[in-house]
Amino acid sequence: MLLSMGVSLYTSRVVLDTLGVEDYGIYNVVGGVIVMFGFLNSSMSGATSRFLTFELGRQDYEKLKKTFSAALTVHFIIAGIILILGETVGLWFLENKLVIADERMGAARWVYQLSIISAMVSITQVPYNATIIAHERMNVYAYVEILHSLLKLGIVYLLVIGNFDKLILYAVLIFCVSIFIAMIYRGYCMKNFEECKYKFEWHAIKSIYPMLSFSGWDLYGNLSIVARTQGVNMLLNMFFGPILNAANAVAVQVQSVVVSFANNAIVAVRPQIVKSYATQNYQYVVILVMHTTKYIYLLMLILSLPLILEMDFVLNIWLKNVPTYAVAFCRCTLMFSFFSTMSNIIVTAIHATGNIKRPSLINGTLYLSVLPVSYIAFKWGGIPDIPYICNILFVFIGMISNAYTLKLYIVQFSIREFIYKVLGVCFFITFLSFAVSMYVKYHISEGLLRFVSIGLVSTISILLLTYCFALDKHTRYKIRHLIYRKQ
Protein backbone atom coordinates (compact mmCIF):
# COMPACT_ATOMS: atom_id res chain seq x y z
CA MET A 1 0.00 0.00 0.00
CA LEU A 2 2.85 2.42 0.71
CA LEU A 3 4.33 1.70 -2.72
CA SER A 4 0.93 2.03 -4.36
CA MET A 5 0.26 5.32 -2.56
CA GLY A 6 3.59 6.79 -3.59
CA VAL A 7 3.15 5.73 -7.22
CA SER A 8 -0.43 7.08 -7.34
CA LEU A 9 0.63 10.48 -6.05
CA TYR A 10 3.57 10.70 -8.44
CA THR A 11 1.71 9.47 -11.53
CA SER A 12 -1.26 11.77 -10.88
CA ARG A 13 1.09 14.73 -10.80
CA VAL A 14 2.80 13.79 -14.07
CA VAL A 15 -0.46 12.87 -15.84
CA LEU A 16 -2.12 16.16 -14.89
CA ASP A 17 0.95 18.09 -16.03
CA THR A 18 1.27 16.13 -19.30
CA LEU A 19 -2.40 16.09 -20.28
CA GLY A 20 -3.19 19.55 -19.02
CA VAL A 21 -6.11 20.54 -16.81
CA GLU A 22 -8.71 20.43 -19.61
CA ASP A 23 -7.81 16.98 -21.01
CA TYR A 24 -7.48 15.58 -17.49
CA GLY A 25 -10.99 16.81 -16.75
CA ILE A 26 -12.29 15.35 -20.04
CA TYR A 27 -10.85 11.92 -19.20
CA ASN A 28 -12.49 12.05 -15.79
CA VAL A 29 -15.96 13.09 -16.92
CA VAL A 30 -16.14 10.92 -20.09
CA GLY A 31 -15.09 7.80 -18.21
CA GLY A 32 -17.67 8.75 -15.60
CA VAL A 33 -20.49 8.30 -18.11
CA ILE A 34 -19.78 4.54 -18.22
CA VAL A 35 -19.27 4.39 -14.47
CA MET A 36 -22.75 5.87 -14.14
CA PHE A 37 -24.18 2.78 -15.85
CA GLY A 38 -22.29 0.56 -13.41
CA PHE A 39 -25.06 0.60 -10.81
CA LEU A 40 -26.22 -2.81 -12.12
CA ASN A 41 -22.78 -4.24 -11.54
CA SER A 42 -22.46 -2.64 -8.10
CA SER A 43 -25.63 -4.37 -6.93
CA MET A 44 -24.62 -7.81 -8.20
CA SER A 45 -21.08 -7.34 -6.88
CA GLY A 46 -22.35 -7.02 -3.32
CA ALA A 47 -24.69 -9.98 -3.77
CA THR A 48 -21.94 -12.15 -5.29
CA SER A 49 -19.49 -11.41 -2.49
CA ARG A 50 -22.08 -12.06 0.20
CA PHE A 51 -23.38 -15.39 -1.18
CA LEU A 52 -19.94 -16.81 -2.03
CA THR A 53 -18.60 -15.96 1.44
CA PHE A 54 -21.77 -17.26 3.11
CA GLU A 55 -21.56 -20.67 1.37
CA LEU A 56 -17.83 -20.88 2.12
CA GLY A 57 -18.58 -20.18 5.79
CA ARG A 58 -21.10 -23.03 5.78
CA GLN A 59 -18.55 -25.22 3.91
CA ASP A 60 -21.14 -26.20 1.32
CA TYR A 61 -18.71 -26.56 -1.59
CA GLU A 62 -21.20 -28.00 -4.07
CA LYS A 63 -23.49 -25.00 -3.53
CA LEU A 64 -20.41 -22.77 -3.78
CA LYS A 65 -19.67 -24.02 -7.31
CA LYS A 66 -23.25 -23.44 -8.44
CA THR A 67 -23.27 -19.99 -6.86
CA PHE A 68 -20.09 -18.95 -8.69
CA SER A 69 -21.34 -20.16 -12.08
CA ALA A 70 -24.70 -18.49 -11.56
CA ALA A 71 -23.02 -15.21 -10.55
CA LEU A 72 -20.75 -15.26 -13.62
CA THR A 73 -23.76 -15.89 -15.88
CA VAL A 74 -25.52 -12.83 -14.45
CA HIS A 75 -22.39 -10.71 -14.88
CA PHE A 76 -22.15 -11.72 -18.54
CA ILE A 77 -25.72 -10.46 -18.95
CA ILE A 78 -24.91 -7.21 -17.13
CA ALA A 79 -21.88 -6.64 -19.37
CA GLY A 80 -24.18 -6.95 -22.39
CA ILE A 81 -26.63 -4.45 -20.91
CA ILE A 82 -23.79 -1.98 -20.22
CA LEU A 83 -22.69 -2.32 -23.86
CA ILE A 84 -26.20 -1.54 -25.13
CA LEU A 85 -26.69 1.41 -22.75
CA GLY A 86 -23.22 2.73 -23.46
CA GLU A 87 -23.67 2.72 -27.23
CA THR A 88 -27.12 4.34 -27.09
CA VAL A 89 -27.99 6.54 -24.09
CA GLY A 90 -24.40 7.11 -23.03
CA LEU A 91 -23.20 7.99 -26.51
CA TRP A 92 -26.08 10.45 -26.91
CA PHE A 93 -25.17 12.07 -23.58
CA LEU A 94 -21.52 12.37 -24.62
CA GLU A 95 -22.35 13.96 -27.96
CA ASN A 96 -25.11 16.30 -26.83
CA LYS A 97 -24.83 17.18 -23.14
CA LEU A 98 -21.20 17.24 -22.01
CA VAL A 99 -19.25 20.49 -22.38
CA ILE A 100 -16.24 19.47 -24.51
CA ALA A 101 -14.44 21.60 -27.09
CA ASP A 102 -15.03 20.48 -30.70
CA GLU A 103 -11.33 19.89 -31.35
CA ARG A 104 -11.15 17.45 -28.39
CA MET A 105 -14.33 15.52 -29.18
CA GLY A 106 -12.45 12.94 -31.28
CA ALA A 107 -10.14 12.10 -28.36
CA ALA A 108 -13.13 12.01 -26.02
CA ARG A 109 -14.78 9.38 -28.24
CA TRP A 110 -11.66 7.20 -27.98
CA VAL A 111 -11.72 7.48 -24.20
CA TYR A 112 -15.41 6.63 -24.17
CA GLN A 113 -15.21 3.48 -26.32
CA LEU A 114 -12.21 2.12 -24.41
CA SER A 115 -14.09 2.80 -21.16
CA ILE A 116 -16.99 0.65 -22.36
CA ILE A 117 -14.77 -2.34 -23.15
CA SER A 118 -12.83 -1.95 -19.91
CA ALA A 119 -16.08 -1.79 -17.94
CA MET A 120 -17.32 -5.01 -19.54
CA VAL A 121 -14.13 -6.85 -18.57
CA SER A 122 -14.31 -5.47 -15.02
CA ILE A 123 -17.92 -6.59 -14.69
CA THR A 124 -17.19 -10.20 -15.64
CA GLN A 125 -14.20 -10.10 -13.27
CA VAL A 126 -16.34 -9.50 -10.16
CA PRO A 127 -17.03 -13.17 -9.22
CA TYR A 128 -13.31 -13.98 -9.43
CA ASN A 129 -12.29 -11.10 -7.15
CA ALA A 130 -15.12 -11.96 -4.76
CA THR A 131 -13.79 -15.53 -4.55
CA ILE A 132 -10.29 -14.31 -3.62
CA ILE A 133 -11.79 -12.16 -0.85
CA ALA A 134 -14.02 -14.99 0.38
CA HIS A 135 -10.95 -17.25 0.70
CA GLU A 136 -9.07 -14.37 2.41
CA ARG A 137 -6.08 -14.62 0.07
CA MET A 138 -5.06 -11.02 0.76
CA ASN A 139 -1.41 -11.67 -0.15
CA VAL A 140 -2.50 -12.10 -3.77
CA TYR A 141 -3.68 -8.49 -3.83
CA ALA A 142 -0.34 -7.35 -2.43
CA TYR A 143 1.67 -9.01 -5.19
CA VAL A 144 -0.65 -8.00 -8.03
CA GLU A 145 -0.97 -4.41 -6.81
CA ILE A 146 2.82 -4.07 -6.68
CA LEU A 147 2.88 -5.15 -10.32
CA HIS A 148 0.01 -2.74 -11.03
CA SER A 149 2.00 0.12 -9.50
CA LEU A 150 5.06 -0.67 -11.62
CA LEU A 151 2.90 -0.75 -14.75
CA LYS A 152 1.49 2.68 -13.81
CA LEU A 153 5.03 4.02 -13.76
CA GLY A 154 5.52 2.52 -17.22
CA ILE A 155 2.38 4.30 -18.41
CA VAL A 156 3.71 7.64 -17.20
CA TYR A 157 7.04 7.08 -18.95
CA LEU A 158 5.38 6.17 -22.26
CA LEU A 159 2.97 9.08 -21.92
CA VAL A 160 5.82 11.56 -21.52
CA ILE A 161 7.93 10.25 -24.42
CA GLY A 162 5.01 9.28 -26.69
CA ASN A 163 4.64 11.33 -29.90
CA PHE A 164 0.85 11.00 -30.18
CA ASP A 165 -2.33 12.62 -28.87
CA LYS A 166 -1.66 12.42 -25.13
CA LEU A 167 -5.28 11.89 -24.09
CA ILE A 168 -5.82 9.00 -26.52
CA LEU A 169 -2.45 7.47 -25.64
CA TYR A 170 -3.23 7.64 -21.92
CA ALA A 171 -6.66 6.03 -22.44
CA VAL A 172 -5.15 3.18 -24.50
CA LEU A 173 -2.38 2.49 -21.96
CA ILE A 174 -4.77 2.51 -18.99
CA PHE A 175 -7.07 0.16 -20.91
CA CYS A 176 -4.26 -2.32 -21.65
CA VAL A 177 -3.05 -2.39 -18.06
CA SER A 178 -6.55 -2.88 -16.63
CA ILE A 179 -7.15 -5.84 -18.99
CA PHE A 180 -3.78 -7.39 -18.11
CA ILE A 181 -4.38 -7.11 -14.34
CA ALA A 182 -7.88 -8.60 -14.70
CA MET A 183 -6.46 -11.58 -16.59
CA ILE A 184 -3.91 -12.21 -13.83
CA TYR A 185 -6.63 -12.35 -11.16
CA ARG A 186 -8.77 -14.56 -13.36
CA GLY A 187 -5.93 -16.97 -14.08
CA TYR A 188 -5.07 -17.26 -10.40
CA CYS A 189 -8.66 -18.09 -9.46
CA MET A 190 -9.08 -20.72 -12.16
CA LYS A 191 -5.85 -22.40 -11.08
CA ASN A 192 -6.38 -22.34 -7.30
CA PHE A 193 -10.14 -22.50 -6.66
CA GLU A 194 -12.23 -25.42 -7.87
CA GLU A 195 -15.46 -23.40 -7.90
CA CYS A 196 -14.02 -20.93 -10.45
CA LYS A 197 -14.35 -23.38 -13.33
CA TYR A 198 -17.41 -21.97 -15.05
CA LYS A 199 -20.12 -24.43 -16.02
CA PHE A 200 -23.53 -23.36 -17.28
CA GLU A 201 -26.36 -25.71 -16.29
CA TRP A 202 -30.06 -25.01 -16.81
CA HIS A 203 -31.08 -26.86 -13.64
CA ALA A 204 -28.65 -24.73 -11.60
CA ILE A 205 -30.22 -21.48 -12.83
CA LYS A 206 -32.33 -21.36 -9.65
CA SER A 207 -29.14 -20.41 -7.78
CA ILE A 208 -29.47 -17.01 -9.44
CA TYR A 209 -32.83 -16.17 -7.84
CA PRO A 210 -31.61 -15.48 -4.26
CA MET A 211 -28.82 -13.26 -5.60
CA LEU A 212 -31.23 -11.39 -7.87
CA SER A 213 -33.59 -10.82 -4.96
CA PHE A 214 -30.73 -9.57 -2.80
CA SER A 215 -29.27 -7.37 -5.55
CA GLY A 216 -32.74 -6.11 -6.48
CA TRP A 217 -33.14 -4.41 -3.11
CA ASP A 218 -29.51 -3.27 -3.26
CA LEU A 219 -30.02 -1.82 -6.73
CA TYR A 220 -31.67 1.38 -5.56
CA GLY A 221 -28.93 2.11 -3.04
CA ASN A 222 -26.12 1.47 -5.51
CA LEU A 223 -27.85 3.40 -8.26
CA SER A 224 -28.13 6.33 -5.86
CA ILE A 225 -24.43 6.21 -4.98
CA VAL A 226 -23.39 6.15 -8.64
CA ALA A 227 -25.91 8.86 -9.53
CA ARG A 228 -24.66 11.06 -6.69
CA THR A 229 -20.97 10.60 -7.49
CA GLN A 230 -21.13 10.86 -11.26
CA GLY A 231 -24.15 13.17 -11.23
CA VAL A 232 -22.22 15.77 -9.25
CA ASN A 233 -19.36 15.41 -11.74
CA MET A 234 -21.79 16.00 -14.62
CA LEU A 235 -23.36 19.01 -12.88
CA LEU A 236 -19.93 20.54 -12.36
CA ASN A 237 -19.23 20.07 -16.06
CA MET A 238 -22.56 21.53 -17.15
CA PHE A 239 -22.37 24.63 -14.91
CA PHE A 240 -18.61 25.26 -14.65
CA GLY A 241 -16.88 23.31 -17.49
CA PRO A 242 -14.09 20.66 -17.49
CA ILE A 243 -11.79 22.74 -15.24
CA LEU A 244 -13.96 21.84 -12.23
CA ASN A 245 -13.93 18.17 -13.36
CA ALA A 246 -10.15 18.29 -13.07
CA ALA A 247 -10.47 19.68 -9.53
CA ASN A 248 -12.91 16.90 -8.69
CA ALA A 249 -10.52 14.30 -10.16
CA VAL A 250 -7.70 15.59 -7.93
CA ALA A 251 -9.99 15.38 -4.88
CA VAL A 252 -10.94 11.80 -5.77
CA GLN A 253 -7.25 10.90 -6.18
CA VAL A 254 -6.36 12.29 -2.74
CA GLN A 255 -9.34 10.53 -1.22
CA SER A 256 -8.46 7.20 -2.85
CA VAL A 257 -4.94 7.30 -1.41
CA VAL A 258 -6.23 7.73 2.14
CA VAL A 259 -9.28 5.49 1.83
CA SER A 260 -7.28 2.67 0.22
CA PHE A 261 -5.76 1.89 3.63
CA ALA A 262 -9.20 1.72 5.20
CA ASN A 263 -10.68 -0.30 2.35
CA ASN A 264 -7.98 -2.94 2.69
CA ALA A 265 -8.90 -3.36 6.34
CA ILE A 266 -12.58 -3.64 5.37
CA VAL A 267 -11.78 -6.22 2.69
CA ALA A 268 -9.92 -8.23 5.33
CA VAL A 269 -12.71 -8.08 7.91
CA ARG A 270 -15.71 -8.53 5.55
CA PRO A 271 -15.33 -12.33 5.15
CA GLN A 272 -15.03 -12.70 8.92
CA ILE A 273 -18.27 -10.78 9.48
CA VAL A 274 -20.22 -12.81 6.90
CA LYS A 275 -18.78 -16.16 8.00
CA SER A 276 -19.44 -15.37 11.67
CA TYR A 277 -23.05 -14.53 10.87
CA ALA A 278 -23.38 -17.71 8.79
CA THR A 279 -22.29 -19.75 11.85
CA GLN A 280 -24.63 -17.68 14.11
CA ASN A 281 -21.76 -16.18 16.11
CA TYR A 282 -23.58 -12.85 16.43
CA GLN A 283 -21.58 -11.51 19.37
CA TYR A 284 -18.37 -11.77 17.34
CA VAL A 285 -20.06 -9.90 14.48
CA VAL A 286 -20.82 -7.05 16.88
CA ILE A 287 -17.23 -7.00 18.21
CA LEU A 288 -15.87 -6.86 14.66
CA VAL A 289 -18.18 -3.98 13.68
CA MET A 290 -17.43 -1.94 16.81
CA HIS A 291 -13.66 -2.36 16.69
CA THR A 292 -13.31 -1.98 12.93
CA THR A 293 -15.34 1.25 12.71
CA LYS A 294 -13.40 2.80 15.57
CA TYR A 295 -9.89 1.82 14.53
CA ILE A 296 -10.37 2.55 10.84
CA TYR A 297 -11.67 6.04 11.68
CA LEU A 298 -8.58 6.68 13.81
CA LEU A 299 -6.27 5.28 11.13
CA MET A 300 -7.83 7.62 8.59
CA LEU A 301 -7.51 10.50 11.05
CA ILE A 302 -3.73 9.95 11.27
CA LEU A 303 -3.47 10.07 7.49
CA SER A 304 -6.01 12.84 6.83
CA LEU A 305 -5.53 15.47 9.55
CA PRO A 306 -2.17 16.82 8.26
CA LEU A 307 -3.58 16.84 4.71
CA ILE A 308 -6.74 18.72 5.71
CA LEU A 309 -4.79 21.39 7.60
CA GLU A 310 -2.04 21.77 5.00
CA MET A 311 -3.92 21.03 1.76
CA ASP A 312 -2.73 24.24 0.04
CA PHE A 313 0.91 23.38 0.68
CA VAL A 314 0.51 19.70 -0.27
CA LEU A 315 -1.24 20.38 -3.58
CA ASN A 316 1.25 23.08 -4.57
CA ILE A 317 4.14 20.68 -3.90
CA TRP A 318 2.39 17.70 -5.52
CA LEU A 319 0.96 19.38 -8.64
CA LYS A 320 2.52 21.91 -10.96
CA ASN A 321 -0.88 23.36 -11.85
CA VAL A 322 -3.46 23.19 -9.06
CA PRO A 323 -7.00 23.36 -10.54
CA THR A 324 -9.38 25.95 -9.15
CA TYR A 325 -11.37 24.71 -6.12
CA ALA A 326 -9.16 21.60 -5.80
CA VAL A 327 -8.16 22.52 -2.23
CA ALA A 328 -11.75 22.93 -1.01
CA PHE A 329 -12.91 19.79 -2.83
CA CYS A 330 -10.08 17.75 -1.31
CA ARG A 331 -10.83 18.85 2.24
CA CYS A 332 -14.55 18.14 1.92
CA THR A 333 -13.95 14.76 0.28
CA LEU A 334 -11.62 13.65 3.06
CA MET A 335 -14.14 14.63 5.74
CA PHE A 336 -16.86 12.78 3.81
CA SER A 337 -14.65 9.68 3.72
CA PHE A 338 -14.61 9.34 7.52
CA PHE A 339 -18.35 8.73 7.78
CA SER A 340 -18.62 6.91 4.46
CA THR A 341 -16.05 4.31 5.54
CA MET A 342 -17.65 3.80 8.95
CA SER A 343 -21.05 3.43 7.32
CA ASN A 344 -19.70 0.83 4.88
CA ILE A 345 -18.55 -1.38 7.75
CA ILE A 346 -22.01 -1.32 9.34
CA VAL A 347 -23.60 -2.05 5.95
CA THR A 348 -21.31 -5.07 5.58
CA ALA A 349 -22.87 -6.56 8.72
CA ILE A 350 -26.37 -5.73 7.45
CA HIS A 351 -25.56 -7.44 4.14
CA ALA A 352 -24.50 -10.53 6.06
CA THR A 353 -28.06 -10.81 7.40
CA GLY A 354 -29.51 -10.59 3.88
CA ASN A 355 -32.01 -7.90 4.97
CA ILE A 356 -31.02 -4.89 2.90
CA LYS A 357 -34.34 -3.33 1.90
CA ARG A 358 -34.47 -0.72 4.68
CA PRO A 359 -30.88 0.62 4.44
CA SER A 360 -31.02 0.70 0.64
CA LEU A 361 -34.18 2.80 0.59
CA ILE A 362 -33.07 5.22 3.32
CA ASN A 363 -29.46 5.69 2.18
CA GLY A 364 -30.41 5.78 -1.49
CA THR A 365 -32.91 8.57 -0.91
CA LEU A 366 -30.38 10.56 1.11
CA TYR A 367 -27.68 10.17 -1.54
CA LEU A 368 -30.00 11.11 -4.40
CA SER A 369 -31.05 14.25 -2.51
CA VAL A 370 -27.61 15.71 -3.17
CA LEU A 371 -28.38 16.13 -6.89
CA PRO A 372 -31.58 18.23 -6.78
CA VAL A 373 -30.20 20.33 -3.91
CA SER A 374 -26.98 20.96 -5.87
CA TYR A 375 -28.82 21.66 -9.12
CA ILE A 376 -31.10 24.23 -7.50
CA ALA A 377 -28.16 25.82 -5.70
CA PHE A 378 -26.16 26.08 -8.93
CA LYS A 379 -29.17 27.56 -10.73
CA TRP A 380 -29.31 30.25 -8.05
CA GLY A 381 -25.60 30.98 -8.43
CA GLY A 382 -24.34 28.76 -5.60
CA ILE A 383 -20.67 27.93 -5.09
CA PRO A 384 -19.23 24.62 -6.39
CA ASP A 385 -18.60 23.37 -2.82
CA ILE A 386 -22.29 22.80 -2.13
CA PRO A 387 -22.51 19.14 -3.33
CA TYR A 388 -19.54 18.21 -1.14
CA ILE A 389 -21.03 19.83 1.96
CA CYS A 390 -24.32 18.01 1.29
CA ASN A 391 -22.41 14.75 0.91
CA ILE A 392 -20.88 15.11 4.38
CA LEU A 393 -24.22 15.87 6.04
CA PHE A 394 -26.23 13.15 4.30
CA VAL A 395 -23.66 10.38 4.69
CA PHE A 396 -23.49 11.08 8.46
CA ILE A 397 -27.28 10.82 8.71
CA GLY A 398 -27.11 7.61 6.68
CA MET A 399 -24.47 6.14 8.99
CA ILE A 400 -26.66 6.72 12.07
CA SER A 401 -29.63 5.20 10.24
CA ASN A 402 -27.55 2.13 9.35
CA ALA A 403 -26.63 1.64 13.01
CA TYR A 404 -30.31 1.61 13.98
CA THR A 405 -31.03 -0.82 11.13
CA LEU A 406 -28.31 -3.21 12.31
CA LYS A 407 -29.88 -3.18 15.78
CA LEU A 408 -33.15 -4.44 14.25
CA TYR A 409 -31.44 -7.48 12.71
CA ILE A 410 -28.76 -8.26 15.33
CA VAL A 411 -30.16 -7.57 18.80
CA GLN A 412 -26.71 -7.95 20.39
CA PHE A 413 -25.67 -4.67 18.71
CA SER A 414 -26.00 -1.72 21.09
CA ILE A 415 -26.78 1.74 19.72
CA ARG A 416 -25.77 3.29 23.04
CA GLU A 417 -22.33 1.63 22.96
CA PHE A 418 -21.84 2.60 19.33
CA ILE A 419 -22.58 6.27 20.06
CA TYR A 420 -20.51 6.52 23.23
CA LYS A 421 -17.69 4.01 22.68
CA VAL A 422 -17.18 4.56 18.95
CA LEU A 423 -18.51 7.94 17.79
CA GLY A 424 -17.97 9.69 21.12
CA VAL A 425 -14.40 8.45 21.49
CA CYS A 426 -13.53 9.19 17.86
CA PHE A 427 -14.90 12.74 17.99
CA PHE A 428 -13.17 13.41 21.33
CA ILE A 429 -9.79 12.28 19.94
CA THR A 430 -10.40 14.28 16.75
CA PHE A 431 -11.15 17.47 18.69
CA LEU A 432 -8.07 17.25 20.93
CA SER A 433 -5.65 16.26 18.14
CA PHE A 434 -7.08 19.00 15.90
CA ALA A 435 -6.60 21.60 18.65
CA VAL A 436 -2.97 20.57 19.22
CA SER A 437 -2.27 20.58 15.47
CA MET A 438 -3.84 24.02 15.03
CA TYR A 439 -1.58 25.36 17.78
CA VAL A 440 1.44 24.16 15.79
CA LYS A 441 0.00 25.55 12.55
CA TYR A 442 -0.30 29.09 13.92
CA HIS A 443 3.16 29.13 15.51
CA ILE A 444 5.23 27.99 12.52
CA SER A 445 5.49 29.71 9.14
CA GLU A 446 4.03 27.88 6.13
CA GLY A 447 6.39 25.41 4.49
CA LEU A 448 7.81 21.92 4.72
CA LEU A 449 8.80 22.35 8.38
CA ARG A 450 5.23 23.20 9.39
CA PHE A 451 3.77 20.29 7.39
CA VAL A 452 6.21 17.79 8.92
CA SER A 453 5.68 19.25 12.41
CA ILE A 454 1.90 19.00 12.12
CA GLY A 455 2.24 15.44 10.81
CA LEU A 456 4.43 14.37 13.74
CA VAL A 457 2.44 16.18 16.42
CA SER A 458 -0.94 14.97 15.13
CA THR A 459 0.27 11.37 14.80
CA ILE A 460 1.76 11.27 18.29
CA SER A 461 -1.30 12.91 19.85
CA ILE A 462 -3.73 10.56 18.06
CA LEU A 463 -1.73 7.47 19.06
CA LEU A 464 -1.48 8.57 22.71
CA LEU A 465 -5.17 9.50 22.89
CA THR A 466 -6.11 6.22 21.20
CA TYR A 467 -4.11 4.28 23.78
CA CYS A 468 -5.70 6.18 26.67
CA PHE A 469 -9.33 6.39 25.50
CA ALA A 470 -10.00 4.04 22.57
CA LEU A 471 -8.38 0.80 23.76
CA ASP A 472 -9.85 -1.45 26.45
CA LYS A 473 -7.79 -2.66 29.41
CA HIS A 474 -7.03 -6.03 27.84
CA THR A 475 -5.72 -4.49 24.62
CA ARG A 476 -3.59 -1.96 26.52
CA TYR A 477 -2.11 -4.81 28.57
CA LYS A 478 -1.26 -6.76 25.40
CA ILE A 479 0.47 -3.69 23.90
CA ARG A 480 2.52 -3.11 27.08
CA HIS A 481 3.44 -6.78 27.21
CA LEU A 482 4.55 -6.68 23.56
CA ILE A 483 6.71 -3.59 24.17
CA TYR A 484 8.35 -5.07 27.28
CA ARG A 485 9.09 -8.29 25.43
CA LYS A 486 10.83 -6.36 22.64
CA GLN A 487 13.10 -4.53 25.06
Among 265, 253, 127, which Cα is nearest to 185's? Answer: 127
User: What pLDDT score was predicted for residue 480?
Assistant: 83
Query: 316, 451 in Cβ contact below 8 A?
Result: no
Does residue 272 sit within a domain? yes
Establish if 429 belongs to a structural domain: no
Q: What was the pLDDT predicted at 244?
A: 83
DSSP string for residues in 298-354? HHHHHHHHHHHHTHHHHHHHH-SSPPTTHHHHHHHHHHHHHHHHHHHHHHHHHHHHT
- Each residue's pLDDT, cut to its tens digit, for the chain (487 residues) gives 667 767 776 777 788 788 887 787 777 777 766 665 555 555 566 667 777 777 777 777 777 788 788 888 878 888 888 889 888 888 888 888 777 888 888 888 988 898 888 888 888 888 888 888 777 777 887 788 788 888 988 888 888 888 888 888 888 998 898 899 889 989 998 888 888 887 776 555 666 666 666 666 666 776 777 777 778 888 888 888 777 888 888 887 777 777 777 777 787 788 889 888 888 899 999 999 999 999 999 989 998 999 999 999 988 887 777 887 888 989 999 999 999 999 989 988 998 887 888 888 898 889 889 889 999 998 998 888 899 999 999 999 999 999 999 999 999 999 999 999 999 999 999 999 999 999 999 988 888 899 999 999 999 999 999 999 988 888 888 888 887 876 6
The residue among 63, 40, 42 whose CA lies nearest residue 278 is 63
Q: What is the pTM of this model?
A: 0.73
Do the domain assignments include residue 142? yes
List alpha helices for 86-196, DSSP H: 91-96, 105-134, 138-161, 166-192
User: What pLDDT, on a 0 to 100 scale, did the predictor assign at position 237?
Assistant: 84
Q: Could you tell me if residue 265 is inside a domain?
A: yes
pLDDT of residue 209: 64
For residues 172 and 111, the answer to whether their CB atoms sit within 8 Å is no
- Structural domains counted in the chain: 1
Closest CA to 398 of 344, 477, 331: 344
Under 8 Å between Cβ of 430 and 403: no
Domain containing 36 equals 2-413
**Within a domain: residue 95?**
yes
The amino acid sitting at 441 is K
Q: Is residue 442 part of a domain?
A: no
In a domain, 74, yes or no: yes
Separation between Cα atoms, residue 396 and residue 340, nearest integer Å: 8
Helix axes 386-409, 357-379, angle to 10 degrees: 170
Rounded distance, CA 344 to CA 166, Å? 37
C-alpha distances out from residue 227 to 62, 111, 221, 451, Å: 38, 20, 10, 36
CA distance 155 to 176: 10
Whether the CB-CB separation of 194 and 62 falls below 8 Å is answered with no
Residue 486 is assigned to a structural domain of this protein: no
- Secondary structure tally for the chain: helices H, strands E: 19, 0
